Amino acid sequence: MQQRAPQPTPPAVVAPTGDTASATPSPRASTAKPPATTSPTPSRQPATTANTADGAIAARGTISPHSIIYWAQNDLTIDVAQPLTTLTVEIRIAQTDGVQHTGEWRTAPADDFTVSVAPADGFLVYRWTLKPGRTVPALQEVFAAQYNHKTGKRDASKDTFRVETTVAGHTSVVGGNFPAGS
């Protein structure tokens, strides 16, 4: 009789660190099959914009699948192709439907960025600026803007993002809109 080697335990998933306790990490894929049900329930997938790229960075905006009828989170995923020593990330949430700031987070270390959130020109502007002497490694980073809004589905198509970095004298800028809603 053959014995099977014990299966390794998967690592614990830790929520990203940030300035708020309400940070919501992206869900991880599971290999477990869901239990059979008699009535199918729709799967909530994040709405996603097209990927935009320039030089060392590529970015795409999504509405978190954890968004609800009076609170939402816009997630900006940035693919970093090489280490960066300059980086400015901006998410602009259109101040429609009673939008009010409730928090923000990023997967990068909080101490590496200066963060500001302020209204400007009809938007609630979330801005992360890499501090001098810090480096963003070549990997994927997520920046999230959280806000309350009027009860109901909110159209996020007027929300925008912009990411800028300079590498070897070349300034790369990517930007776009978030999808209509969750």
92, 101 contact by CB (below 8 A): no
| pLDDT 10s digits, 105-161 | 999 999 999 999 999 999 999 999 999 999 999 999 999 999 999 999 999 999 999
* Structural domains present in the chain: 50-177 (2.60.40.700)
Reply yes or no on whether the pLDDT at 59 is more than 90: yes
Residue 46 CA to residue 64 CA, distance in Å, equals 6
Residue 91 confidence (pLDDT) = 98
This prediction has a pTM of: 0.73
Strands (E) in the chain, as ranges, are: 47-48, 52-54, 57-63, 71-80, 88-94, 100-106, 113-120, 123-130, 140-148, 160-167, 170-177
